[in-house]
Amino acid sequence: MSAALECTPEQGGCIDATALWSEPPTGSLCILGDLVVTGRSAAELAVLQRVETIEGSLRIFDNPDLEVLPAFASLASIEGSLAISDNEDLAVIEGFPVLTAVEGELYLAENAALVEFTLGPGVAELAGLFVALNPKLMRIGGMPGLDRVNGDVRVEGHEAAQILELPALTAVFGDLAVNDNLVLTTLELPALTDVAGRCSLQRNAALASVSGLASLARADEVYIGDNALLSTIEWVSPLEFRRLAIRQNMRLERITLGEIATSAGEIVVAGNPMLQDIDGFSGLETVTRVEIRGNGGLRRITAFPALAEVLGELQLIDNPSLIGPESWFPALSAAGGLWIFRNLSLPPQLVDALTERLVVAGASRVGDNGGEDTVLDPCPWLEDGICDADWGWNGRGTGLCVADQKDCAAP
């Protein structure tokens, strides 16, 4: 560590944070402990131009008269976190042009007037990144050198932000959450390959494409839900995941994933009313579970050409327009369970052809597909914890049995 990062009270220019605002020494400064900037005017901030090192966190909050936060011209290191929040008139953060190290997280939140933020080019690593509830911020970026975040990245609750831009970010070692950004249209994370936790894109009402995440190769979970204008989901590069869930995207028409690892976890595609086709997933041979449910416009499942085994259940339920095609699941030979019902256009002979070549370890709940009226009495699946009557205490049942009282009654 350089001498500048080892300041002590005995060294010239190394002072306690409280002394900064009274009689600071001349020359360059390092701050012992946290530096709190609150209730300060623009004139009082001139002394910050001489600060080179902060041995704690830099916290800038509740400065009601501050409109522009000038660039910290000399600040090279923050050994804690950087937090800028609740500054009601702050419109511009000019940045930290020589800053190279922030050992904690960056927290930028609840700045009601903020329209411009710049961190600077030198910071390559953060412990966490939280940018939220800045209602006038139009572009979320200003971090061109940021390569990795060792915790979560959360970008949430913006009303004006149209672009999220982190061009150098390659790895997030926690969750990546981009949620509730009302006019966000563009994701620019072209270098991002790894998310160790959950990658979540939810309730971004103007987001039409996820092409800005095209390099994502590994994530524990990918959740894409309730994005009102999202029309396509496409990954060209290989993608590894434990769980992939795509839910309730009202205008989603097509899902195309390229080559997938040979094994994957759970895949859920549910409640996307305009979805027409699920394609791709080439290379995938084994999956834990597949659920394709309640996609009103879905006609074709041309995906999964190499899928040989579903370890848990294969569920195709409540897709009223689904017709196949005849070449669906061409390599599939085994499943832990098989649920194919209430697909009103799906030819029963196509279902029969699939079931005849599958080895199914568990229950096969099959019926009420095209032209069928399947009512089983007595119910063959009693006391398995799943309601097979029309309705149960917590919602719709499978509808395949006349009665299934023990499983459908409230516990």
What long-range pairs does 368-374 form, CB within 8 A, spacing at least 24? 368/341, 368/342, 368/344, 368/399, 368/400, 369/340, 369/341, 369/342, 369/343, 369/344, 370/343, 370/344, 370/345, 370/346, 372/348, 374/341, 374/400
Is residue 252 domain-resident?
no
Q: Please say which residue of 89, 123, 157 terminates a domain.
A: 123
Is residue 34 domain-resident?
yes
Q: Please say which residue of 63, 95, 123 terminates a domain.
A: 123
Q: How many folded domains does the chain comprise?
A: 2
Is residue 215 domain-resident?
no
**pLDDT tens digits, 315-370:** 999 999 999 999 999 999 999 999 999 999 999 999 999 999 999 999 899 999 99
Given this model, what pLDDT does residue 18 score? Answer: 86
Residue 352: φ, ψ to 5° = -60, -40
Q: In sequence order, what are the residues at sequence separation of 6 or more whose Cβ sits closer than 8 angstroms to the Cβ of residue 120?
A: 95, 96, 97, 98, 99, 142, 143, 145
Give the residue among 271, 263, 272 at the shortest CA–CA distance from 240: 263
Is residue 311 domain-resident?
no
Is residue 393 domain-resident?
yes
Look up the domain containing 63 and give its range: 1-123
To the question of pTM greater than 0.85 for the whole model, the response is yes
Is residue 105 domain-resident?
yes
Walk along the chain (411 residues) and give the pLDDT tens digit of each residue. Answer: 333 444 444 445 689 988 898 888 889 999 999 999 999 988 889 999 999 999 999 999 999 989 999 999 999 999 999 999 999 999 999 999 999 999 999 999 999 999 999 999 999 999 999 999 999 999 999 999 999 999 999 999 999 999 999 999 999 999 999 999 999 999 999 999 999 999 999 999 999 999 999 999 999 999 999 999 999 999 877 899 999 999 999 999 999 998 888 999 999 999 999 999 999 999 999 999 999 999 999 999 999 999 999 999 999 999 999 999 999 999 999 999 999 999 999 999 999 999 999 999 998 999 999 999 999 998 999 888 899 999 998 888 999 998 888 899 987
Neighbours of 47 (CB within 10 A): 12
Q: Please say which residue of 94, 123, 152 terminates a domain.
A: 123
Q: What is the DSSP letter of 89?
A: T
Is residue 71 domain-resident?
yes
Characterize 103-139 residue by residue with b for buried, 16 or more Cβ atoms within 10 angstroms of its Cβ, and e for exposed: ebbbbbbbbebbebbbbbbbbeebbbbbbbbbeebee
